[in-house]
Amino acid sequence: MNGNAPRRSHFFPRTRDGRTATTAFLALFLLAMPPMTHAVLNRTDPWIFGLPFFYVALLAVYCALILVLIWAFRRGV
Amino acid sequence: MEAWVVATGLIVVYLVLTIVLGIVANRRMTGDMEDFLLYGRKAGFVVLYLTVVASFHSAFAFLGSGGFFYTHGVGFWAAGTWTLLVGAITYVIGTRIWALGKAFGYMTPADMLADFYESEAVRVTVAVVSVVFTILYIQVQAQGLGYIINVASGERISFEAGTLILLIVAAVYLMAGGLRAVYWTDVLQGVWMYVAVWVGALVLSYELFGGPLELWRAVSEQRPDLLSLPGPQGFFTPGMWVGMTITLSFGIVFQPHMMIRYYTAVDGKTIKLLGATTPIYLMTLYIPAAMVGLGGALVMPGLEGAQADRIFPELLFAYTSPWLTGAILAGATAAAMSTLDSILHANMTVLTRDVYQRFIRPNESQGHYINVGRAIVVGLLVVGYLLSVGTGDYLVVLVTLSGAGALQLMPSILGVCFPGGRTLTRAGVVLGIAAGLVTLYVTMVVSPHPLGMHAGLWGLLVNTAVALNVSVFTTPPSAITIHRVHGEVERFVYGTEDG
């Protein structure tokens, strides 16, 4: 290969599983960032399993993000 | 038996254990530099997992996070975002760093960047940034250790003496067994600290409130201001949330003690599994920290500034048995020491490899460099001690500053690990880092966090802009080097050399 030739970008996934994992991770991650955190999740009610909404909602998002990473690993992304 | 005797005694038992592990590791050493500095690039999943999480979580997680929940409320649950991001960064970038280290024999972050950008100026810049900002981290851990032993001994051992004793113990087992000793002690420390913080928080929540759920209910009734953003003092603005997330994920991963860990893995799959699973440990450690900090705000109000970092040990001493307190404070000691030894090791590696071997005595024996590394550890120990007894800032503030400094390496690292973007030049990288650090100083010290955005992000924005613009007008690395390095990344990620 000619060293001056541009390579295909590594910033965008090339496989279907790669695109799925990246999209899912980014979408979920945005749920744990402003403005979602400060405008939508920022409330104590309702209480869920005896815990405030904000805390539980973020915990659920974090768990989902971990599942995405494990899914990507199992799929060999 | 008095509580302080039990607590101090258990910490001593723990310290003796770490020294024994250091001696055993010393007997397994081969006298090879790669073995001493990089564990022979043979670290398997379990050892690597526990050393990464133990190094990531430090006195900051054990003491500082409780203090932050105590002062600023549930906003510190943002910690989950940066621990998740650490997993993703490890998965995507850590694997590439591992592949390049394996292919080209890199031992330090500066090795990789100087090779790709074909510049010794880049090497020196990266080495200086690596060392200067992680010395702050040594200070954080040393201060944490001083607090712990001071509290455990009922203030019979002074903060200064406690700091010195624990620094010396870490330095002794590091000098004896190199990275093998660090990894083995991290396995012990990683397990101990996780169990300790969970047990401590649960016992306190049952003792003081009747259980975790009752604790949360009490907080909502007595201090509802702790349960919403931006917190009682208005700290967790959107800009601060984003800034801390970026700074404490990329900024910590790009510190030398974390990057060097990627080089040590036995294979790339181990790094991927590490990335997928480390957030489980990292994130869930903040659950008990929240219970300690928020519960502490109700039963022990009034602690301000750096005093709030002591909330966990203060609660343990006041409300639990001496044996449990001792075991948990030994866990806190483990949290601080596992990070401290990793940073001492990383700085030793950077200074030995990137400065001494490169510029001072390039053609000495492996044993010579190992001994120089040991001497450097002694020097770092002295510097770390002097810094730790000289200032008394919040642990979290120091950690954030340390992460913000290492974050300035981000554009240059992405330029190496991600083919297909705009290629940065050596001038762009060096000037970008310099501009980022100046901006960091201005936005952290002169005019803190303008527009509510974290100083680390301001630094990164200016850094990236300068690096990209300067790179337009200056000479890029040679096509041969770009092809060699990016070809290796392409081969590792997609199994083919041509993009």
pLDDT tens figures, B255-300 = 899 999 999 999 999 999 999 999 999 999 999 999 999 999 999 9
B275–A69 CB contact, under 8 Å: yes
**Stronger pLDDT, A22 or B389, i.e. the higher one:** A22
* Nearest CA distance, A33 vs chain B (angstrom): 7
Region of poorest pLDDT, from B72-76, B350-354, B364-368, B450-454: B450-454
| Residues from chain A contacting residue B493 (CB–CB below 8 Å) | 10
| Mean of pLDDT values over B401-430 | 91
- DSSP states of B139-175: HHHHHHHHHHHHHHTTTSS-HHHHHHHHHHHHHHHHH
Nearest to B287 by CA among B210, B200, B207, B188: B200
B420–A70 CB contact, under 8 Å: no
> To the nearest whole number, what is the mean pLDDT of chain B?
90
Please state the length of chain B: 499
Tell me the CATH architecture of domain B3-396. Up-down Bundle (1.20)
On the question of pLDDT at B31 being above 80, the answer is no
| Residues from chain B contacting residue A51 (CB–CB below 8 Å) | 213, 216
Percentage of chain A with pLDDT > 90? 69
| Mean of pLDDT values over B216-233 | 94
Give the Cα separation of B52 and B125 in Å (integer).
25
Residue-level pLDDT at A46: 83
Residue-level pLDDT at A2: 45
In which band, very low, low, confident or very high, does the pLDDT at A3 lie, cut at 50, 70 and 90? very low
A58–B77 CB contact, under 8 Å: yes
Residue-level pLDDT at B33: 83
pLDDT tens figures, A35-62 = 999 999 999 888 888 899 999 999 999 9
pLDDT tens figures, B292-335 = 999 999 999 988 877 888 899 889 889 988 888 888 888 888 87
Burial of B298 (0-12, 13-18, 19+ CB in 10 A): middle
In which band, very low, low, confident or very high, does the pLDDT at B396 lie, cut at 50, 70 and 90? low
Chain B segment 15-54 residues within 8 A of A by beta carbon are none
* Nearest CA distance, A16 vs chain B (angstrom): 13
Structure-token match 């254990």, residue found: B17
On the question of pLDDT at A25 being above 60, the answer is yes
Residue-level pLDDT at A11: 86
Which stretches of B95-236 are DSSP H helices? 95-104, 109-117, 120-152, 159-209, 212-222
Residue-level pLDDT at B399: 65
